[in-house]
Structure 1
């Protein structure tokens, strides 16, 4: 898939021909493997990551970089989707996050599947996997900046806590 093909994708979703694609337009360009578009929370996160001009939209170059980013995440996701189901099971997620260096309790994984997964079969789809992993990475970085002694425990004021959460809502 070269730039010409990607330009075609970009142009097909840039309905107003502005040279920028909005959140809604980007959502139409991305599929999570279930024939449904990415959830808006993931789309917003990706725009926040790649929108260098802070216009809440992406130009073609930003879109090209985002497309490669999504493709890299798809390869990662596929590597952990051992049964090729198109979803990440609880065990596959535990393996992925452990390989990324995280160690979480069963209680945390229960929360993750309640918040990000399909409760009926304990699976997570592609875009929620990206959202979860990026959120964990971002919050871990913010936590570590406050965990100066690297103990895994921080003591922060309520104001600092709210600032941390609000700063990281849309990464």
Structure 2
């Protein structure tokens, strides 16, 4: 069965911050109903469904120059957001991802001043800081090597994938850092489980 893409999501009518609690719960119900239309009876979405949703949304943003999300990028997002290892994401995981992508999209637009659909590696450093991630120079270099093209530019798809990965890795670290001392201890199987699927 082919799932329809809800028009409210494409038009950006969902997910706007509300000023009243009652409106917030109405917004939540509307968002949940749209998710149900996308996900179907199992109330989970896979990488292809995620790609369809995200690409339909970014197409509506004329000020964002992008070819959209690759399937591999959406597989990565699913893997990084999938807390139960099902290969799909549920409503809460999707909502978390949706909210993050919306805020990161604003950061990307701020740095893509020429509307080329890319930002350079220096702008990426500032974008990472604006998103609240504190990294060292070596990690910034790793990000550039992993996500930039040969001209040292990062497109929107790669930008979002990088931020999803950073967010997931920080959340995973904090989950293992029970005493909050900034140090974790993993055995080889825990390390493989943490990094292999991501």
Q: Which consecutive segments of 4 or more residues in structure 1 shift more than 6 A?
A: 18-22, 63-69
Aligned match of 2:125: 94
TM-score after normalising by structure 2 = 0.56
Structure 1 unpaired stretches of 5+: 7-17
Report the CA distance shift for 1:45/1:146 in structure 2 as closer, same or farther (over 3 A): same
Contact 2:176 2:184 in 1 (8 A): yes
TM-score after normalising by structure 1 = 0.63
Contact 2:118 2:156 in 1 (8 A): yes
The 5-angstrom pairing of residues 32-47 of structure 1 reads: 36-46=67-77
RMSD: 4.0
1:22-70 Cα deviation digits (max 9, x unpaired): 75576467269555342222222455659xxx79699xxxx99987875
Matched, 1:3 2:33: no
What displacement does 1:113 show?
1.4
1:57-87 Cα deviation digits (max 9, x unpaired): 99xxxx9998787555422321233454421
Report the CA distance shift for 1:95/1:162 in structure 2 as closer, same or farther (over 3 A): same
Structure 2 unpaired stretches of 5+: 1-6, 12-37
Contact 2:78 2:87 in 1 (8 A): no
Secondary structure of the 1:36 match is coil
Hey, what's the Cα distance between the residues in 2 that align with 1:47 and 1:98? Answer: 24
Report the CA distance shift for 1:57/1:103 in structure 2 as closer, same or farther (over 3 A): closer
